[in-house]
Amino acid sequence: MDEEDSPYPEVRASVSNIDDPEMPCLTFRAWLLGIFFVIICGAFNMFFQLRYPAPTITPVVIQIISYPAGKLCASLLPDTVYRMPGSEWSLNPGPFNIKEHTVIAIMANAAVGPVYAVNTTLVMEKFYHRAPGLGIDFCLALATQLLGFSLAGLTRRFLIWPASMIWPSNLVVCTLLNTFHAEDDDGSDGSLTRFKFFMYVAIGAFVWYWVPGYLFTALSTFSWVCWIAPRNRLINQLFGSVTGLGLGILTFDWSQIAYINSPLITPWWAEVNIFCGFAFFFWFLGPLLYYTNTWQQAYLPIGGTSVYDRYGKPYNTSRVVDLRTGLLNLTAYHEYSPLFLPTTFTAVYSIAFALATSAIVHTFLYHGHSIWDKVKNIKTEDEDVHAKLMRNYPEVPDWWYWSYFFLFTGFSVIVIEAYATGLPIWGLFLALSVALVYVLPGGFIFAMTSQQISINLVAEIIPGYLFPGKPFANMLFKTFSVQSLFVAMSFIQDLKLGHYMKIPPRVTFVVQILAAISSAIVQVGVKEFLVATVPDLCDKHQANLLTCPNSSVFYSASVLWGLLGPQRQFGEGTIYRPIVYFTIIGGLIPIPFYLFTKRWPNSWLKYVNIPVLLVGACWIPPATAINYTSWIIVGFIFQYVFRRTKFRWWSKYNFVLSAGLDVGTVISAIVIFLTVQLFRPGSDGTLNWWGNTVYVKLSLFWLFYFPS
């Protein structure tokens, strides 16, 4: 089997095709470090999620730190063997190995992402002044985490076991882990070892990020054309990076280039689809709508991250909410203004409506037959070497996952019944059904392209129509739908990581559950502590910048879709009603491409993937054109040119390069924040000079300057 390998070159380049079933993985030091990083990571990210600006500990940081930590444990812990009837164990079973490292990484991954439900309870408490209580807070966080975990386990035969589900993001993790634990890469062929290459890249990225990340931040959004003509309206509309189209704008900041995912890991065919989708909606359809003044958009910025009132100012939701009841004040609403959308928002909503149906139709057409065969346990593709090696370990029965699903569905019922949320039990089941419907379409896209599907708009509009004027019901429906799907995608990705690294499935099952529960406890605890000790938490003038930016956006969404409701935005007679018809368009477009590929299977049309074309553009906002232009250039160089002309170099270093750039940039961002920004109260910590203000002044100018 040593000669057998994956049929996919990306997988061959990053995942080992051998396994040692005797290698220990669920050791004392794996538990010790895993739980430690879950607590630290969850607490750190939860605290800084409430602050702006703030860094984030990403999974790759934990993967780096846990390596020397594991080595340290191996050198300090006693190696005494303890024997019990039928078993023996030791605190230190030998050298720190790659499977222990993987277990720690899987546990940390569960804590890195924020618990979405915390936003819900924080908004209830700080914005609607109705504290749900610690019990409800904890039950909601736990339920949404573990429901997603259950969905993940039930999709294994579709998204984990098939070799064609490659999960590009995992390939970087596998490469990084194999690089640290490599024993046969000694550079004897005269080339750099992967480890040395990784260290050089990481150090270089760390040093370089100080330039666009702190010293000369204009390099992060290099809109030099606008600097030359800062008051020219047309130039700023065409080339502006925030409120313009961003035509031809580049960036020298890796965090901006990799904002929508690293261009070194997404397959080239997917990158082309994503960029074409972005270009069509934001460089063709957007200007067409704007310059023809469709939907009265010509007096607003052509781009932006805000919605607006009739005065061309960002919409002030506090003017239409009755602070005593938390309900919509209709009189104030009619006196103030309806909601107006800039061009970027109309494009995004059009994409979201189209994606809602195209993802389902595409999955039915392209994967429906194989899904049905797998349901009937009919083999649809040959096992690769990794699936064969995993036969050495007992699989997790489906009923284990079903048990958790029913258990935490019960927790969810307790939450909505014990607290006056306005969400009926049938509404809860509908919310979970939305997540269930999209878990396979979203999983196929994520597994092939590393892009996650977004169902935020669907999860806001459905309760907006069903429960008008009930923001709590809207928030909870959205939380159960969005968080269950998001967590499912994250846990499926980690299940595939365990599959690649030959971690016994039952070990992965146990560590994922305990990590998810621990993360929920930690994040809810940090949130409750801050609410109790920081009286002005979430206030926009909070002295330590604990302004809760994510929760503020969550609150605004609850007002727009829960109080104002989609009927006022997309109902009959409204100017944005035509956007709704993109649901029909999205469902129809995949059909002709499917028929074309059936008729001409070797045509370039086989690479057209409508959901991928749509999902990539959903990053806008907050992403802008700058996150796509440099991204596609880097992707073209490495995923197209280098892969075709320098395949040997690409297979050895490409994923190492991606990991090194990620690690160096993230660690540099954290160091910059902790050393030169954190202890400057009331400031964002940036240097005040032209190189750090020129693009900000342009953005602010065009945010509030409109043609008459």
DSSP one-letter string for 334-349: HHH---B--HHHHHHH
Tokens of 546: 């604990």
pLDDT one-digit tens code per residue, 131-145: 888 888 888 999 988
Omega within 30 of 0 (cis) for the link into 132: no
* Lowest-confidence segment of 191-205, 486-500, 503-517, 692-706 by average pLDDT: 692-706
Residue 225: closest CA among 643, 698, 568: 698
Residues with Cβ within 8 Å of 610's Cβ and at least 6 positions away in sequence, in order, are: 358, 362, 586, 589, 590, 593
Give pLDDT, residue 683.
53
Model confidence at 688, pLDDT cuts 50, 70, 90, reads confident
Stronger pLDDT, 420 or 515, i.e. the higher one: 515
Give pLDDT, residue 480.
93
Give pLDDT, residue 634.
94
Tokens of 520: 């929920």
- Our separate counts of H helices and E strands in the chain read 32, 4
149 near 483, Cβ under 8 Å? no
Give pLDDT, residue 184.
53
Give pLDDT, residue 36.
94
Give pLDDT, residue 553.
80
**Residue 183, pLDDT above cutoff 70:** no
Omega within 30 of 0 (cis) for the link into 53: yes
Mean pLDDT, to the nearest integer, of 139-158? 90
Mean pLDDT, to the nearest integer, of 306-319? 82
The neighbouring-strand residues paired with 222 are 250
What are residue 631's phi and psi, to 5 degrees? Answer: -60, -45
- The answer, as to whether pTM is greater than 0.85, is yes
Give pLDDT, residue 700.
45
Give pLDDT, residue 707.
41
Give pLDDT, residue 222.
77
Give pLDDT, residue 2.
54
Of the chain, the percentage scoring pLDDT greater than 70 comes to 93
**Residue 701, pLDDT above cutoff 70:** no
Give pLDDT, residue 216.
86
pLDDT one-digit tens code per residue, 439-498: 999 999 999 988 888 888 899 999 999 998 888 899 999 999 998 999 999 999 999 999
Omega within 30 of 0 (cis) for the link into 95: no
Give pLDDT, residue 53.
66
Give pLDDT, residue 372.
84
Stronger pLDDT, 392 or 616, i.e. the higher one: 392
What are residue 633's phi and psi, to 5 degrees? Answer: -65, -50
DSSP-derived 3-state class of residue 189: coil
pLDDT one-digit tens code per residue, 642-661: 999 998 899 888 988 998 99
130 near 326, Cβ under 8 Å? yes
- Buried b or exposed e, range 685-698, using 16+ CB within 10 angstroms: ebeeeeebebbeeb
Stronger pLDDT, 592 or 59, i.e. the higher one: 592
pLDDT one-digit tens code per residue, 327-347: 788 888 889 988 888 888 888
Average pLDDT over all residues of the chain: 85
What's the DSSP call for residue 395?
P
